[in-house]
Chain A
Amino acid sequence: MSAESIRAGVELELAARVVELVRQAAGPSAEAEVVVRHDAEALTRFAVSMIHQNVAEAVTTVGLRLHLDGRTASGATTVVGADGLRGLVERTVAAARLSPPDTTWPGLAPPSPLHHSAGYHGSGEHSRLDFGFDEATARATPAERAELVRDFVSAADGLETAGFCRTVYTSAAFVNSAGQSVEGRTAEAAMDGIARAGGADGVARLASGRLSDLDGALLGARAAAKARAARNPVELPPGRYEVVLEPEAVSDLLANLSVFGFNGKSYAQKQSFAELEADQFDPSVTLVDEPLGSRDEHAPGLPFDDEGTPRESLVLVREGVTKAVAHDRTSAAEAGAVSTGHASGMSRTWGPFPNHVRLEASPAATLPPVDESIGAVAASARPLVARMERGLLITDLWYTRVLDQKTLVITGLTRNGVWLVENGEVTAAVGNMRFTQSYPQALASGMVLGIGGESVLLPDRWSGTRYAAPALHLASWNLTGNASG
């Protein structure tokens, strides 16, 4: 079966051509930046233990932003022939000329080399940077994804299953009229599935830079074990509970802290809780954005952002002290900072935020050895559960929404397995509950009772973001109702 072909230099040539077209149409004073992305995403989705949706797409998108005579406009097209590119330039130049003045234009990124990642570098064909790119993942076929799904379904041993297996290959380039010219590529694989038993669901979820890292059978067995253990739940009264959050639930904390808290625009507009150099978290909390991966994992993202700024690791919180927020060039100018390489197509409107955040795991020596057997409790959460006298073990959080952005009070529900823990042992499955909780408050000094010793790479189920989360033991979580009413 045919698979995605690996591209080399195509996007860089396209981007340079558009910059030249802008120069011809608007003169040398026009400031232009061009991003060209070729995204090949394939997703095999299953439900009721069958593959019911199986999709693939291969799309090249050219994005142009230009600043002309004090006015700014952006345009994008998937029509990349000569007429399409000319039309993009003409439309965007015309839009800029008719747009109201832009007093916040931050200027173009100057030419600067890409940063090497912590663990992978040096072998890219054009950029001379490879970041652990796995060609086999980029070339993955529908048959390979279907086999992983088959393994997941089989391992659930008769339970109903649902989920997806995804591979994504991106090849991209950036060129601006100030001379910045960079390119890169990335590949991602992810699997996310549930098993269902008697009205209870169990989940297993994993992301990687290599499809070969995903073991459908192992994930299916984990999901099934959790589902079986979640049957016959009891209902508990609402109130504040001590909790152990499994990595899936912790990833929701990381996502909301990132999108609303470590967002440079929200910070500049005083809508974020973040205060630089303030003790805002427990000293055990260190958060790092790692778009280039780490020594142990492939790069999840491109080595530059949509403004051509090279990306590198960014420490957001070190030992409880807030150290940084993510910036694009606009929010950086407003906040008197420098861009951290977090511009995206929508960051001027919605703000730049980190989307490859890792919560540092505890040093292994401080925790008992991880039990790798498959059961209701995720392996990384077991040492934390063993220490909890009475509380809840929560697998996953769902439909979390902000009630108040400044304090980051969030409401949402538990999902995919909740258990009562007494004297370090799981004693009963618990029905899903609604919570209303300030996330920074949950992680404040003294509130973090323990962090797991192993981070799990978790895919976002909606977009291409990714989080690395260990389990987390918290002193208090405000459960405000039972899902059943």
Chain B
Amino acid sequence: MSHFDEASAAVQAALEAGARYADCRVMIRRSESMTARDGDVEELVSGESAGLGVRALVGSSWGFYAIPDLSDAAARAAGRRAAQIATASATVPGPPIELTPSAAVEASWASECAVDPLGLSQSVKGDLIVGATAAAKAAGADLAEGIYQIWDTTKWFVSSDGHRIDQHIRECGAGVTASAYGDGEIQRRSWPSHRGQYGTSGWELVDSLDLIEHAPRMAEEARALLTAPLCPTGETTLVLGGEQLALQIHESVGHAIELDRILGWEAAFAGTSWLDLKQLGSLRYGSELMNITIDPGLPGALGSFGFDDEGTPATKRDAVRDGIWVGVLAGRDSAAVAGLDYAGSVRSDGWARLPMVRMTNVGLEPGPHTLDEIIAATDDGVFMDVNRSWSIDDRRLNFQFGCEIGYEIKNGKLGRMLRNPTYTGIGPKFWQSMDMLSSESIAWGTPNCGKGQPGQVGHTGHPAAPARFTDVRVGVRG
């Protein structure tokens, strides 16, 4: 069933109420998640959400209104309300806005999906998650937790610039975590990452994770961490696993290249960026091994779509090439303000939320080495993997990460396991120290990227492979 008519009615009503541009997203999302603990189901939740959100531009001011009602009359009322809100925005106006041109498109797109995750029996999915926690518990975990999440979103987009696009995006993922309790501390190991692996994919992604097979090892490693030596303190050579590097990219590159942050539009909350548009095309962000792409068309990655929430088709772009900053994540209004001719990175987390600049798939192109080669080439250093904590300043410059597990590297070999590994640094200095990069890339999914007010949760993808960094401060403790 199409909802183009309701979206068109909302857009038309906004125009009649004085908007010079309007767009509307009708979205229907079904979701399902299960959490399990110690071999028992903890919570099974399914959801259905349907509604429309209208965006109206009156003069240089925006308004947005959303309602959970898909009738024609409600759509028209929402369009008028969005225009009224935009008119109120003009109380504190900005400079004139012209949107970056976007060709009118009529299209349909769907993500790839072999096994419909919502169509699969809940008993099959539940047995897997419960079974993974039971396996970890049996292997000695004091606490074993598992989760799967599924989102099935259909949306219809209409704009006054002639867009008419429908998309069907299915996403899912899962993970298992084992915790071991020691004297006054808790150690934790997660598979395949600290909150699971996610993608725009069917249940085949979850099947490929082999949760039950890996769960016992997580329990054993968590237990072993309790008696492992602390990560040493000081500056050393740091080798990061791909999962941790994915979050490093997310926090210290992905957010930094968001154009709304660069322009100061997120200054009060999410923050700004250390990047200055005057240096676009010339600033050295990292070493020559650093090639970051923005690729919303990457099949199966969590940040993939056919069109963004302004109707711009998915297009692969460079953000960093040979270590030089060359691109940003942009929307039609922010691009115009910055004098750029491309948008394509505007998304909302549902019909009730304003579309805004968000990451899609922001990833590091693979390098020439393997992890084994990187370890073998390191005389003295630390290997860390799987994120445990993350913190970065409001300019996306100063970061500190904690990982679940570390190992010392001595004379080209992995040595003792290390507990509470942390590292800290400054973005460009850190990236410029990257001297080895693996070819073993995986597109890690981050299903919990927070931004915006009211808060929005974004789903992003980050292709990443293990890499080596020099002179990094490790072992920061309270």
Residues of A within 8 A of B (CB): 1-2, 41, 43-60, 72-80, 84, 87-88, 91-92, 95-96, 98-104, 141-143, 145-147, 149-150, 153, 160, 162-164, 166, 192-194, 196, 201, 203, 269-271, 345, 348-349, 398-407, 409-413, 415, 432, 434, 436-438, 441, 461-463, 478, 480-485
Cβ–Cβ < 8 Å partners of A146 in chain B: 88-89, 91-92
Cα distance A196–B264 in the bound complex, in angstroms: 11
CB of A412 within 8 A of CB of B64, answer no
Cβ–Cβ < 8 Å partners of B201 in chain A: none
CB of B51 within 8 A of CB of A78, answer yes
CB of B420 within 8 A of CB of A50, answer no
Cα distance A101–B390 in the bound complex, in angstroms: 36
CB distance from B12 to the nearest CB of A (A): 19
CB of A51 within 8 A of CB of B41, answer no
> Does B139 make an interface contact (CB < 8 A)?
no
CB of A78 within 8 A of CB of B46, answer no
Residue of A nearest to B263 (CB): A48
A438 touching B41 in the complex, CB below 8 Å, given contacts A50-B94, A53-B62, A146-B91: no
- What is the interface size of chain B, counting residues whose CB is below 8 A from a CB of the partner? 87
CB of B43 within 8 A of CB of A74, answer yes
CB distance from A69 to the nearest CB of B (A): 14
CB of B394 within 8 A of CB of A413, answer yes
Partner of B64, one of A53, A73, A103: A53
CB of B89 within 8 A of CB of A398, answer no
Cα distance A252–B291 in the bound complex, in angstroms: 37
CB of A88 within 8 A of CB of B127, answer no
> Does B378 make an interface contact (CB < 8 A)?
no
Cβ–Cβ < 8 Å partners of B395 in chain A: 483
Of the listed stretches B293-301, B359-367, B447-455, chain A binds B447-455
Q: Which 6 interchain pairs have the tightest Cβ spacing?
A: A50-B94, A142-B88, A146-B91, A485-B426, A162-B268, A78-B68
CB distance from B136 to the nearest CB of A (A): 14
A79 touching B50 in the complex, CB below 8 Å, given contacts A52-B94, A349-B35: yes
CB of A194 within 8 A of CB of B268, answer yes
| Chain B contacts with A in 384-400, Cβ cutoff 8 A | 388-395, 397-398, 400
> Does B40 make an interface contact (CB < 8 A)?
yes
CB distance from A166 to the nearest CB of B (A): 8
> Does B61 make an interface contact (CB < 8 A)?
yes
CB distance from B233 to the nearest CB of A (A): 11
| Chain B contacts with A in 249-305, Cβ cutoff 8 A | 263-269, 271
Can you list 25 residue pairs at the A/B interface with Cβ under 8 Å?
A1-B88, A41-B454, A48-B263, A48-B264, A48-B267, A50-B94, A53-B64, A55-B85, A60-B68, A74-B45, A75-B47, A76-B49, A78-B51, A100-B36, A100-B41, A104-B40, A196-B267, A203-B268, A406-B184, A436-B476, A461-B269, A461-B453, A463-B455, A481-B476, A484-B426
> Does B368 make an interface contact (CB < 8 A)?
no
Residue of B nearest to A73 (CB): B44
CB of A399 within 8 A of CB of B391, answer yes
Cβ–Cβ < 8 Å partners of B67 in chain A: 57-59
> Does B21 make an interface contact (CB < 8 A)?
no
Cβ–Cβ < 8 Å partners of A52 in chain B: 62, 89, 94, 265
Cβ–Cβ < 8 Å partners of A75 in chain B: 45-48
A59 touching B352 in the complex, CB below 8 Å, given contacts A99-B126, A104-B42: yes
Counting chain A CB atoms within 10 Å of each CB, the highest count among B42, B90, B93 belongs to B42
> Does B429 make an interface contact (CB < 8 A)?
yes
CB of B268 within 8 A of CB of A192, answer yes
CB of A147 within 8 A of CB of B121, answer no
Partner of A100, one of B40, B265, B356, B425: B40
CB of A56 within 8 A of CB of B42, answer no
> Does B402 make an interface contact (CB < 8 A)?
yes
> Does B65 make an interface contact (CB < 8 A)?
yes
Counting chain A CB atoms within 10 Å of each CB, the highest count among B61, B91, B420, B477 belongs to B91
Residue of B nearest to A147 (CB): B91
CB distance from A65 to the nearest CB of B (A): 9
Cβ–Cβ < 8 Å partners of A271 in chain B: 143, 179, 186
Q: Mark B438-473, 1 if CB is under 8 A from A, else 0.
A: 000000000000100111000000000000000000
Cα distance A101–B478 in the bound complex, in angstroms: 42
Cβ–Cβ < 8 Å partners of B143 in chain A: 269, 271
Residue of B nearest to A269 (CB): B143
Q: Mark B42-77, 1 if CB is under 8 A from A, else 0.
A: 111111111101000000011111111000000000
CB of A56 within 8 A of CB of B65, answer yes
Cβ–Cβ < 8 Å partners of B312 in chain A: none
Cα distance A463–B453 in the bound complex, in angstroms: 9
CB of B185 within 8 A of CB of A407, answer yes
Partner of B478, one of A43, A160, A438: A438
CB distance from A68 to the nearest CB of B (A): 12
Residue of A nearest to B183 (CB): A406
Cβ–Cβ < 8 Å partners of B130 in chain A: 100
